[in-house]
Structure 1
Amino acid sequence: MALKALDIYKLLPKKNCKECGDPTCLTFAMKLAGGKADLDLCPYLSDEAKSVLGATTRPPIRLVKIGVGTRNFKVGEETVLYRHEKTFYHPPGIVFRVTDTMQADEIVAVTRRVRDETLTRVGADLRFNGIAIENVSGSAETFARAVETVEKVEAHLPPVLISKDTAALKAALVYCGTYRPLLHAATQENVKEMCALAKQHGCPLVVRSGSLDGLVNLVKTCTADGVPDLVLDLAPGTFGDFIRRSTAVRQLAITRAVPDLGYPVYLNAAETGQQDAAVALGIVKYGSVIVTDPLPVGSAKAALTLRQNIYTDPQKPIQMNPGIYRVGSPDKDSPVLMTVNFSLTFFTLQGYLESARVPCFMLIVDTEGLSVLTAVAAGKLSEMLVRDSIKKFGLENEVSHRKLIIPGYASPLSGRIEDATGWKVLVGPRDAAEIGEYLHEEWKK
């Protein structure tokens, strides 16, 4: 059972030294109780306290970092079974696979795509995470040459090295051993050799078994050999296998019933024969590192969008900073459209305004990330908020007129906004798709 913050605090040295990164020992104890801090951050903790606190103070699923530099990604550190309980913290890394039997120019093209391809959605830049190189040839030399080809692109992407042959991995690590690649995979047959390799280079390691007992045994062996950063490959034969095993691992880890299963999960979607479905399954059912062959453009956008949706905090809507935004090059006579700071509302409206080719101003008011309809119902969007926003952001200095277009769903507030601001209020359409036609027909009247 997890300890409460005060129980943990009693076992801390109470120096308030700040060396853990927190201002007081009590703050550190609260983070430990919530699974938000690592016990090792306290340099003065006694051996007795460490033995008492143990695994009860770290997140039930260990945080594992893959790669170095600005493109590294972290997986794990989850504390809930279902996202609506709180939130999932670290989105899965989606990694494109190349093989060492591919031509060098093909490997370079895939690497550059992962390096350069970005999907911008509701203000966020969405990208794939790394390159997996698989030793299909069986040759250590060929495998090392493929890894060298990836590294010569200078993409600085986290590598995943896939080989059953530790000699091939040794040859490949000559080119990327300092970049913290993820090594795949330790099995019952090669676990000692793989542990030695992972420990030598400071790499995270995948352990692979088709049974939970087998995974537990591998984890115990690896941790005993000094390799703490592990990822679990459940070796699923079917989609059903993956759902059952990943759900079981999550339940046993979150409840701490089997702490040795408290690690992120690996999925090779390229092995399934139904790659798009496997990627989606991995995103929604606890996959943390998802290896896939390069996805077509449509599938790539779908995967990135799904991941963004799943890993957006349900308790914290994506918000824009309130203020005045310009569409095109508006002048003193251009229209002003008021809306809320919910990002999806902002970018949807902005997109339609850009398509309409009508230069205008957008007045974004702070409704704490709520949509227009929700903000009106909750009282977050009011005439006083609009009045104060106009003054705060100096809207009077931007335009010579005093006309304000409000969203159709805010029409019940139109009269009150006029009285509070002295501006003439025009009620726009409820559907943002109609805003272009509305502006062309109504603005110049």
Structure 2
Amino acid sequence: MAMKALEVYKLLPKTNCKECGFPTCLAFAMKLAAGGVEPERCPYLDEETKALLGGATRPPVRAVTVGVGARSFTVGEEIVMFRHEKTFYHRPGIMVCAADTSPVAEIRRTAEEVRDFVVHRVGQDLTLDGIALRCESGDPDRFAAAAMAVGECGDLPRLLIAADPAAHEAALRVCGQFLPLIHAATTENHAEMAALAKRYGCPLVVRAETQVKLADLAAQCTAAGAPAVLLDPAPRTMGDFVARASHLREHAVTRAAPDLGYPLYLDTVPLGTDAALAAGILRYAGVIAVPPLPHPSLLAALTLRQNIYTDPQKPIQVAPGIYPVNNPGRDAPVLLSVNFSLTYFTLLGYLEAAKVPCYLFVVDTAGLSVLTAVAGGKLDEEVVKKAIEATDLAGTVGHRTIVIPGFAAPLSGRIEEATGWTVRVGPRDAAEIGEFLETETEG
């Protein structure tokens, strides 16, 4: 189990020297127990204590980074079984498969489609994470040529899947600088695969059907110099994966088996795709290999991933500011709203449908809805006044009238007094905004 702050404190020198960057040893212990710093920050700990604290205070699931550059992604560093206990931090990487038996032009086209795929949802760009290249030919040279074709599409993260270490070595000679994830080390080839992972600095997937064998392979590969490891529990069915993944996460977060404290790998191709992909997102997969999927399936998977890997304690927010809707002019009405994404995009949809030119004036309420922000003091006359000044709203429009949401009606007089703007109270229901604006325009 993770050590508590007081347990960590007992192992510290208690000199309050501040050389760690914290004012007291107790403050350092609290941060260390939360996994926020490394024990090496304290210059007076011996190696044995550092090792003890490191193992007990670091996240139980180790972090692994796949790829290089702006498109690289990190998985792992999770500390709980269930999202409601705290949150999940690093979303799984979804990597689309291509076979080296396909024409090079087709492989390149698949890589380009993955690279350029993007869906805009509630203020976020949802993207795919990389290419999973399978060696189905059995020919190392052909596998290397396919890897080179993927490389022509930029620094898109790669997953290399091959049973023969010779095929991996051929592909790594042309793309090793991109630090691809390589799959997989088994009881038969782990020595060769670990050596390749060490030589190229690549993360390595280890594959076995039992927890004992997975732990043993992970320990052997890391001891041999593999810089990072993922676990493939080799499920035969989707039910197998859910059961094995749950057991592995439980052993990791309770620190009952440190050698199982690694992110998980899932190949959905032999399991059936859509349901297996959803199961992987929901049940702890760190990297998921999928075949090329139709747009609706990808949209569903990316939406599910966004929902699961959004911190439930931090509402999704949009940036405060002035948003023109339907090409407004200087006389168009100004509608006050909050930066809670659901409120913003719901209101925006109704405004666009109404086709009435207007300005959506979004103020910072820390992502709270209108009613919650008013009740909690996050939306008041001072917030509105500062936002008007910060955005130069007066320079954007040629009038001094602002429409506030119906749930903010109690603030109308105070906003007028603080800002000097005339306040009109709009409807409580966003669905009524179109009719309200048409009435106001006609009036």
The two structures have a TM-score, normalised by structure 1, of: 0.90
Aligned-partner SS, 1:245: helix
> Aligned partners of 1:198, 1:15: CA distance in 2, in Å?
41
Aligned-partner SS, 1:89: coil
State the match for 1:313 in structure 2: 311
Matched, 1:56 2:56: yes
Residues 238-317 of structure 1 aligned to structure 2 (within 5 Å)? 238-273=237-272, 275-317=273-315
> Aligned partners of 1:125, 1:17: CA distance in 2, in Å?
41
Extract structure 1 runs of 4+ deviating beyond 6 A.
Answer: 12-15, 41-44
TM-fit CA distance, 1:425: 3.7
> Aligned partners of 2:113, 2:18: CA distance in 1, in Å?
48
TM-fit CA distance, 1:110: 1.0
> Aligned partners of 1:264, 1:279: CA distance in 2, in Å?
16
Aligned-partner SS, 2:249: helix
The CA deviation string for residues 105-160 of structure 1, in whole angstroms up to 9 with x for no partner, is 2111110011111112222222111111001112212211111111123x211110
Residue 260 of structure 1 aligns with an amino acid whose one-letter code is D
State the match for 1:83 in structure 2: 83
> Aligned partners of 1:175, 1:246: CA distance in 2, in Å?
33
Residue 146 of structure 1 aligns with an amino acid whose one-letter code is A
> Aligned partners of 1:40, 1:156: CA distance in 2, in Å?
33
State the match for 2:350 in structure 1: 352
> Aligned partners of 1:132, 1:247: CA distance in 2, in Å?
25
> Aligned partners of 1:42, 1:187: CA distance in 2, in Å?
39
The CA deviation string for residues 246-282 of structure 1, in whole angstroms up to 9 with x for no partner, is 1111111111111111100111112212x11111111
> Aligned partners of 1:127, 1:43: CA distance in 2, in Å?
42
Residue 193 of structure 2 aligns with an amino acid whose one-letter code is M
Residue 144 of structure 2 aligns with an amino acid whose one-letter code is A
> Aligned partners of 2:47, 2:417: CA distance in 1, in Å?
69
With 248-257 and 425-434 compared, the bigger mean Cα shift is at 425-434
Residue 83 of structure 1 aligns with an amino acid whose one-letter code is R
For the 8 Å contact 2:233–2:244, the answer to whether it is kept is yes
Q: How many residues are matched? A: 440
Residues 415/25 of structure 1: CA separation in 2 closer, same or farther (3 Å cut): closer
> Aligned partners of 1:198, 1:399: CA distance in 2, in Å?
60
State the match for 1:105 in structure 2: 105
Let me know the Cα RMSD of the aligned residues. Answer: 2.6
TM-fit CA distance, 1:375: 2.4
State the match for 1:169 in structure 2: 168
State the match for 1:115 in structure 2: 115
State the match for 1:65 in structure 2: 65
Residues 355/104 of structure 1: CA separation in 2 closer, same or farther (3 Å cut): farther
> Aligned partners of 2:300, 2:66: CA distance in 1, in Å?
24
State the match for 2:366 in structure 1: 368
For the 8 Å contact 1:339–1:372, the answer to whether it is kept is yes
For the 8 Å contact 1:164–1:185, the answer to whether it is kept is yes
Residues 424-439 of structure 1 aligned to structure 2 (within 5 Å)? 424-439=422-437
TM-fit CA distance, 1:417: 4.8
Structure 2 unaligned spans of 5+: none
Matched, 1:325 2:323: yes
> Aligned partners of 2:17, 2:162: CA distance in 1, in Å?
48
Residue 35 of structure 1 aligns with an amino acid whose one-letter code is G
State the match for 2:211 in structure 1: 212
> Aligned partners of 2:42, 2:140: CA distance in 1, in Å?
43
State the match for 1:141 in structure 2: 141
> Aligned partners of 1:34, 1:231: CA distance in 2, in Å?
24
Aligned-partner SS, 1:443: helix
TM-fit CA distance, 1:381: 3.0
For the 8 Å contact 2:202–2:227, the answer to whether it is kept is no
With 199-208 and 223-232 compared, the bigger mean Cα shift is at 223-232
TM-fit CA distance, 1:50: 2.7
> Aligned partners of 1:293, 1:408: CA distance in 2, in Å?
48
Residues 106/28 of structure 1: CA separation in 2 closer, same or farther (3 Å cut): farther
Aligned-partner SS, 1:138: coil
For the 8 Å contact 2:61–2:79, the answer to whether it is kept is yes
For the 8 Å contact 2:322–2:362, the answer to whether it is kept is yes
For the 8 Å contact 1:36–1:59, the answer to whether it is kept is no
Aligned-partner SS, 1:267: strand
> Aligned partners of 1:189, 1:51: CA distance in 2, in Å?
31
With 215-224 and 425-434 compared, the bigger mean Cα shift is at 425-434
TM-fit CA distance, 1:64: 0.5
The two structures have a TM-score, normalised by structure 2, of: 0.90
Residues 142/14 of structure 1: CA separation in 2 closer, same or farther (3 Å cut): farther
Aligned-partner SS, 2:314: coil
For the 8 Å contact 2:111–2:150, the answer to whether it is kept is yes
State the match for 2:74 in structure 1: 74
> Aligned partners of 1:92, 1:165: CA distance in 2, in Å?
26
The CA deviation string for residues 373-424 of structure 1, in whole angstroms up to 9 with x for no partner, is 3324444334554455445544344334343222244345556655665644
Aligned-residue identity in percent: 55
Residues 148/389 of structure 1: CA separation in 2 closer, same or farther (3 Å cut): closer
